[in-house]
Amino acid sequence: MSIDTIRNVASDPQAHAVVRRVIRENWRHYRSQYAMAILCMVTVAATTAYSAYIIKDIVNEVFDKKNLDMAWIVSAIVLGVFMVKGFAGFGQDVILNRIGNNIIARYQKRAYDKMLHLGVGFYHDVRSAYLVGQISSNIGGIRNLLNQIITIVARDFLTLTGLILVMIWQDPMMTLGSLLVMPVAGYVISRYVKRMKTLSRKEIDLNARVNSAMVETAQGIAVLKAFTLEEPMSEKVGSLIRQAEKQSNRIALVNARTRPLTETLGGIAIAGAIAFGGWRVISYGGNPGALLSFLAAAMLAYDPARRLASFRVQFEKSLVNARMLYELLDTPPRQADKPGVPDIEVDRGEVVLDDVSFAYGDGEKALNSISLRADAGKTTALVGPSGGGKTTIINLIQRFHDLESGQILVDGQNIADIAVASLRKRISYVSQQPVLFEGSVADNIGYGRPGATRAEIIEAAKLAQAHDFIVSLPQGYDSEVGEMGSNFSGGQRQRLSIARAVLRDAPILLLDEATSALDNESEKLVQQALDRLMKGRTTIVVAHRLSTIRNADRIIVIDNGKVIEEGDHATLVDKQEGLYSRLYRLGIANADDDVEKELSYG
């Protein structure tokens, strides 16, 4: 059966390539451990075969001749054989489990590193929770694939070979008759393999969707409860769970279908051997010890033969896992650096968009031949109706996406021709929705500049108006951050995000509606922090609040991916028919006198 499996894998170029890659990537890391595991498996196979062989001596030398001395000798031998087998089995299990656990750890790290290097656009197309669920399932498949190859060759195949040799030694004719059932089993099992490929891929997809729904429920529990969505979400996820369960049951059924066949064929072989062997011993005075040794070997051979028979079905499932994991690992980064590109040199920090066009996956243009300039050391505000392309500009400056046409220049250098990491190190970014990560408050601020001292982190927090609330926490800067910063208010999360940007101390600052979601009191504190952060930096800000916009050195009004007008606040307000002037008047008309005025963006 294992030879048949290898032949089928070799005839499938894709399967052959996956298996070769898995072995190539892992064998050199674990060859000494695998050598020890294989030695243990060979020992298990040899002792199993010998335990069947020695039955002949037990029957003929002990029982038939009534030799008590031989009984003691054979008993000691049997005890020694089973002790050696036990320790060898222990060593095999420990080594293979350690290898398997390290394989999972290595591929988890590889998958995580790949996730870090995939472009932002990739995550627009794939649900993150779904992706994580899929990765978890597929990494386990890599481990299973390697263990199956090793155990099927070094344990089951060698054990079966040893037992068949014992059977041939004791009775070649009955051995030949017993082995006639194996081609029948191989033919029937091969029919299940193609179906297993389809079922396994669908099972992985359904389980990933279940994991995705659970993660999203945990992250969005406040909204879910606010809209009393418990019952409809329970029904939706329950349906997914039932589908996943049904799919797992289908796979279990395909696996289990081999059991009645192998049991029946094994029973036919052993029953035939008992009947034929017994007839020969009784009728023609055959060797009863050899017969019992043969039968013991045949019965011991059943388990490895059954595992070999079902190997192809299990192997195909693991192969599907490996293929899907490699699909992720082989995904090319969408914003990959060109070969040999240099790091960017930023002296002044001037940012220029030159005839830039860009469209997302739906094909509709977000920016249409847009050109603008953000002067070095000054503040440029981007305003206009929602969906006009303001946030897209912020994203493109950081090269989260590749342009359709045109170019973006930083101090005259095309960002497509420099190392993207060096570009982002020279940019500080504060988004509307601040993101905090697992770890302490100090850790989250320190991500702005890895290696920063505690004193530098504290100074950044002070500049961001965050120090006072941090020191009031039970563990101060060592307080743990809840999931996505859930244990902090919106203003506190935003000030921590600003502290991170302060610590980065980059020449270019991008602010994407950093205060729009805050209450007035929090907005004032955050705005004070932003005012400090913006000094002396090239700042591009997307904002609603007039306090941010009207103090900008230049205001650029964007609508439908184009620049409609630009100038300072006073100049644009004076243009009575201009879009900015209309939005400004509408914002004042809809605002109370004691509330910060906002531009209304339709």
Does one domain contain both 216 and 165? Answer: yes
Model confidence at 407: pLDDT above 90:
yes
Q: How confident is the model at residue 402 (pLDDT cuts 50, 70, 90)?
A: confident
Q: For 501-519, how does the pLDDT look when each residue is reduced to its tens digit (9 = 90+)? A: 888 888 998 988 776 656 6
CA distance 32 to 12: 30
| 0.75 exceeded by pTM | no
Question: In the chain, how many domains are there?
Answer: 2
How far is C-alpha 304 from the chain's CA centre?
A: 34
Q: Is 320 helix (H, G, I), strand (E, B) or coil?
A: helix
Strand partners, 405: 357
Does one domain contain both 165 and 126? Answer: yes
Q: In what order do the strands lie in the sheet with 365-374?
A: 365-374, 351-359, 405-410, 413-414
pLDDT at site 2: 42
pLDDT at site 352: 93
Does the residue 435 lie in any domain? no
Do residues 525 and 495 make contact, with C-beta atoms less than 8 angstroms apart? yes
pLDDT at site 351: 93
Residue numbers of the domain that contains 165: 2-329
**Of the residues 272, 296, 329, which one is the last residue of a structural domain?**
329
Strand partners, 351: 374, 410
Does one domain contain both 134 and 225? Answer: yes
Does the residue 152 lie in any domain? yes
Does one domain contain both 249 and 379? Answer: no
Model confidence at 59: pLDDT above 80:
no
Q: Is 370 helix (H, G, I), strand (E, B) or coil?
A: strand
Q: Is 465 helix (H, G, I), strand (E, B) or coil?
A: coil
Q: Is 205 helix (H, G, I), strand (E, B) or coil?
A: helix
Does one domain contain both 82 and 201? Answer: yes
**Of the residues 269, 299, 329, which one is the last residue of a structural domain?**
329
Does the residue 61 lie in any domain? yes
Does one domain contain both 547 and 587? Answer: yes
Does one domain contain both 257 and 358? Answer: no
Does the residue 318 lie in any domain? yes
Does the residue 338 lie in any domain? no
Does the residue 474 lie in any domain? no
360: Cβ contacts below 8 Å, ≥ 6 apart: 121, 124, 366, 401
104: Cβ contacts below 8 Å, ≥ 6 apart: 139, 140, 142, 143
* Residue 273 CB neighbours (<10 A): 21
Model confidence at 248: pLDDT above 60:
yes
Q: For 104-127, how does the pLDDT look when each residue is reduced to its tens digit (9 = 90+)? A: 888 888 888 888 777 777 777 777
- Section 389-405 average pLDDT: 89
Q: For 269-278, how does the pLDDT look when each residue is reduced to its tens digit (9 = 90+)? A: 777 777 777 7
* Residue 275 CB neighbours (<10 A): 10
Q: What percent of the chain lies above the pLDDT cut of 70? A: 82
Does one domain contain both 46 and 110? Answer: yes
Does the residue 466 lie in any domain? no
pLDDT at site 341: 86
Does one domain contain both 231 and 357? Answer: no
Do residues 339 and 34 make contact, with C-beta atoms less than 8 angstroms apart? no
Q: For 355-364, how does the pLDDT look when each residue is reduced to its tens digit (9 = 90+)? A: 999 988 766 7
Does one domain contain both 274 and 298? Answer: yes
292: Cβ contacts below 8 Å, ≥ 6 apart: 55, 56, 59
- Section 89-96 average pLDDT: 88
Which CATH number goes with the domain that contains 379?
Answer: 3.40.50.300
Does the residue 453 lie in any domain? no
How far is C-alpha 323 from the chain's CA centre?
A: 14
Q: How confident is the model at residue 258 (pLDDT cuts 50, 70, 90)?
A: low
Q: How confident is the model at residue 602 (pLDDT cuts 50, 70, 90)?
A: very low
Does one domain contain both 325 and 397? Answer: no
**Of the residues 278, 298, 329, which one is the last residue of a structural domain?**
329
Which CATH number goes with the domain that contains 218?
Answer: 1.20.1560.10
Does one domain contain both 201 and 277? Answer: yes
CA distance 455 to 451: 12
Counting beta carbons within 10 angstroms of the beta carbon of residue 593, is it exposed (0 to 12), middle (13 to 18) or buried (19 or more)? exposed
- Sign, CA dihedral 472-473-477-483, equals negative
Q: Which residue has the higher pLDDT, 93 or 213?
A: 93
